[in-house]
Chains A and B, each alone.
Chain A
Amino acid sequence: MAETVELSPTTRHEGHGKLVLLVDDEGYVERAFYLNTSAIRGFEAMAKGRPAEFVQVAVMRICGICQATHGTASAEAFERAMGIEPPKAGRQLRELCALGNRIQSHVLHQLLVLDDFVEDEKEKVEAIKRIQQIRKIGQYVVDVVGGEGIHPPNIRIGGMASNITETARRKLYRRLREARDLMEEQHEFMMDAIESYCEEEGIDMETFGKHDQPFLATHPTYGDPEKIDFDRVVELRPIEYYGKENLEIALEHNGQIPLYDGVPVEVGPRARYAVFDAVDARGVLYIHVYRSMETLAAIDRAMNILDELNTSAPTLAEWEPKAGFGIGVHEAPRGTNVHMAEVDEKGIVKNYRIIAASTWNFPTVEKAIEGEKADYAEVIMRCYDI
C-alpha cells in the first residue's frame, strides 16, 4: 500500500515549493508531485496596457536573484516586436551583465546545497567564505555594467544605457581573474564533495535520479529564440496536466506547465551542455557538476567579452514605437527564460507572456524523483535550484 508523504515547504532552494510523494512499502517513490506554491503575482496581467519601457523595467522584479535575465529577455522581445537592432557593444554588455548574475547565482546555489554533501563545519565555513567572495565579484560585474547589483537599470530596450570606462574594464578583468582562481578551487571542492557523498551513500552517480526527458537550451551564454520552435510548445493548466483524479494536488500548483513536443523537458546548466556539447550524463547529480563547470565558463566568457569590448562604442539604439510581436529568449542561470510581447503602434503592450526558466523544470523534477528513495527527494529537487 503506497503511503503519501508531504514535504512542505521544501527548503534551501529559490522560490517556494511543496513535494507530495506516493511512497511504496520499500520507501521508493512511485509518483512525485512538485508543486509551485509561490503566490501568483500577475506580471503578465500588469503588463497589459502599459508602455514597453515600463514593462521591460517592471518584469525584472519577477525575481530578486536573477533579474538581469528577465530584463534582457524582455528587452529582446520588445526589440524583435518593434524591429530594433541594439548596437554590438550594447549586446556585449548585456551578455556580460547577465553573466555576472549567472556567476553569483550559480555559486549561491552551491551554498544552499552545501548541507547535502558536506558535514565538516570547518570545510563548510571555508566554502561559504569562498562562495561569498565569488558572489561578490559576480555582483560587482552587475553593479558596474548594469548600473545596480539588483534590478540593473542599464538594461534597456535598444541595448544598454551606457558603456563602461576603460578603468572599469580593467577593474572588472582583474576581479574576474580572482574569481577564476577561487572558482577553480570551489569546483574541485564540489566535485570531491559529491563524489564522497556518492561513496558514503552507496549511490551510483550515473543512474541516481535519472530521467529520460529531452533537454532544451538555446545558447551556451546568451539566448536565441530561433532555437525554439514555438509551435511545439504548449502550456497546460495544472488540472490538464495532472488530471482530474489529482484535482487537489493540481489546485495547489500555481502557474502553468510548459511542455515541448507534449512532454516535460529539462532546462538549465546540464541541458546547455547536452545541447551544445553533446554530453549525455543522466544521473541528476551531474547537474551540480555542469553548474559548476558553467560558472568557470561564465567567468571565461565574461573576460572574453571584456577583451573584445570597445568602451567608446555606442550602446543604445534610438527607436520609435511600432506595432508587432516578438519573442525574447535568455538563458537564465536556471534555464531557458522566454518573454513574448505584442505591442501596438504606440508601443503599448497588448499582450505579454512569460515562461520563466524554472517553470520548465517543475514536471521534470518529478520524473527525476520517481523511482528513487523518498529520503533523497529533496536532494534531487535541489539539483535543479528551483
Chain B
Amino acid sequence: MAEDLRDVMVKGDEEALGPHIGVFTARSTDGRILKVSQDGGIVSAVAIYGLEEGIFDGFVASVADPDDPEEPWKPRPVVITDPDEVLEAAGTKYTYCPNVSALKEAITTKACESIMFVGTPCQVRAVRKLQIVPLGMRHFPEKVKLVMGIICMENFPYEGLRSIVEELCGVWMREVAKFDIGKGKFWVFTKDGDVVSIPIDETHPFEGEPCHVCTDYCAELSDITAGSVGSPDGWSTVIVRTPKGLEILQDMVDKGLLEVKSIEEVKPGLGLVEKLAQVKKNKNAKEIEEREELNLPRPGEVFTKV
C-alpha cells in the first residue's frame, strides 16, 4: 500500500512559505528524469504524468539550447504537448525566460484546453493575475489546470549569467552541462565532467533589479511549489497548497511515480526553507522601503499611485 501523503506531510510557517496544506521531500522514481532534472525531478515528473494521463494537454516551460550558435543556454518559452518532450525542458536555467508569454500560443494555435504552467514566483503571480483579469487573454482563466512554482531567491539577465560563467567561473558557456545554486555557492558542471564554483556573494552584482523588490520566495500562489532547498542532493522540497495539487501528487505516489519522505527526516530540513524565505522577505522589504522614500511605486501597487 502506497503512502498517504497526509501522513508524510508537515505544516510549516505560513508567514514565510505562504498558505499550504503540507510540505514533504520527494524525488521521481524514473531514472531517465533524474538524469536530467535539476533536483528530484518533481516538475518534470508531474508534467509527464499529467500529459500521459490526459489531465493536461499542454505544458508551458522553458527550453534552452546549450549549443545555440548565437546565445548558448538562452532559454525560450515553449508549449509542450508530447510527454516525450518534457525532459527537453528539464533543468534550471538561471536567467529570465518569459514563460507567461507562451500561454497565448498554448490557447490559440496549439488549442490547449488544460494547461500546466511552471515558472518562478513572479511568473506564478502573473498567471494568477491574468486569471483574475484576463485582459487580452479571453478564455484563458479556466484553461490553466495546474500552476507549479519553483522556489527562487533571484534570477540573472542573460548577459549577467554569461558574465558569471565566463568571467567569474572561467567556463565557456558552450561547455556548461548544468548550473546550480546551493551550499552558498554558484556551481557550474561542464560537459567534460569538471566542477567549478564561486561564492554566491560574487554573483549578487549580476542579479536582475526586479528581483530586489520581490518578497515571494516559495511561489506562494502556486498549486504546488518545488525547490532544492531543505532537501538532500537529488531530492526536492515540495510544498502542496491546493486540493488539486494534493490530488495529483497523491495519485502519483499511488502509481509509484514518486518516492516521498518526511522533510523532518532529512537535512537540512524545513527550517532552512523558512529561514531563507524570511531572509528574502526582510531584505527586499527594506529595498521597497528605500524606493518608496525616493517616491518610486510599491511593486504590485503601481496603479494605485496617480
Interface residues of A (CB under 8 A from B): 143-149, 154, 162-165, 167-168, 171-172
Contacts and interface: CB of A to CB of B under 8 A. Distances in A.
Contact of B110 (A146, A149, A154, A165): A165
Given A147-B104, A162-B105, A168 B138 contact: no
B108 A165 contact: no
Nearest to A172: B111
Interface residues of B, number: 13
Contacts of B107: 143
Nearest to B110: A165
B38 interface: no
A295 to B, nearest CB: 22
Interface of B: 57, 81, 104-105, 107-112, 136, 138-139
Given A143-B107, A164-B109, 18 more contacts: A143-B139, A144-B108, A144-B109, A146-B108, A147-B104, A147-B105, A147-B108, A147-B109, A148-B136, A148-B138, A149-B138, A154-B109, A162-B109, A163-B109, A165-B111, A167-B57, A168-B110, A171-B111
Contacts of B138: 143, 148-149
A101 B165 CA distance: 51
A131 to B, nearest CB: 19
A162 B111 CA distance: 13
A158 to B, nearest CB: 17
11 contacts: A145-B109, A147-B109, A164-B109, A165-B81, A165-B109, A167-B111, A167-B112, A168-B109, A168-B111, A171-B111, A172-B111
A144 to B, nearest CB: 5
B105 A144 contact: no
A145 B57 CA distance: 18
Contacts of A167: 57, 81, 110-112
Contacts of A154: 108-109
Nearest to A145: B109
A168 B105 CA distance: 11
A164 B107 CA distance: 11
Nearest to B136: A148
B41 to A, nearest CB: 26
Given A165-B81, A167-B57, A148 B108 contact: yes
A131 B159 CA distance: 53
Contacts of B111: 144, 164-165, 167-168, 171-172
A90 to B, nearest CB: 13
B272 to A, nearest CB: 42
Contacts of B112: 167
A173 to B, nearest CB: 11
A305 B107 CA distance: 21
A47 B284 CA distance: 47
Contacts of B108: 143-144, 146-148, 154
B112 to A, nearest CB: 8
A332 to B, nearest CB: 22
Contacts of B110: 164-165, 167-168
Q: Which of B105, B107, B110, B111 has the most CB of A within 10 A?
A: B111
Contacts of A144: 108-109, 111
Contacts of B105: 147, 162
A52 B166 CA distance: 42
Nearest to A162: B109
Nearest to B137: A148
Nearest to A148: B108
A167 B105 CA distance: 13
A82 B112 CA distance: 36
Contacts of A164: 109-111
User: Which residue of B57, B105, B109, B138 has the most chain A CB atoms within 10 A of its CB atom?
Assistant: B109
Contacts of B136: 148
A172 to B, nearest CB: 7
Contacts of A146: 108
A146 B138 CA distance: 13
A144 B58 CA distance: 15
A164 B136 CA distance: 20
Contacts of A149: 138
A162 B105 CA distance: 9
A345 to B, nearest CB: 29
A165 B81 CA distance: 10
Contacts of A168: 109-111
Identify the interface centre among A163, A164, A167, A172: most chain B CB within 10 Å of its CB.
A167
A103 B284 CA distance: 53
Nearest to B113: A171
A145 B138 CA distance: 15
A171 B107 CA distance: 12
A144 B138 CA distance: 12
Contacts of A143: 107-108, 138-139
B38 to A, nearest CB: 28
Nearest to B108: A147
Nearest to A143: B108
Q: Which residue, of B107, B110, B139, has the highest number of chain A Cβ atoms within 10 A?
A: B110
B39 to A, nearest CB: 31
A149 B104 CA distance: 12
A168 B81 CA distance: 11
Nearest to B139: A143
A23 B207 CA distance: 78
A174 to B, nearest CB: 11
What 6 A-B pairs have minimum CB-CB distances, sorted nearest first?
A: A168-B111, A147-B108, A171-B111, A164-B109, A165-B110, A144-B111
A360 to B, nearest CB: 32
B104 to A, nearest CB: 7
A254 B257 CA distance: 68
A143 B134 CA distance: 15
A247 to B, nearest CB: 46
A172 B108 CA distance: 11
A171 B111 CA distance: 7
A165 B136 CA distance: 22
A143 B57 CA distance: 17
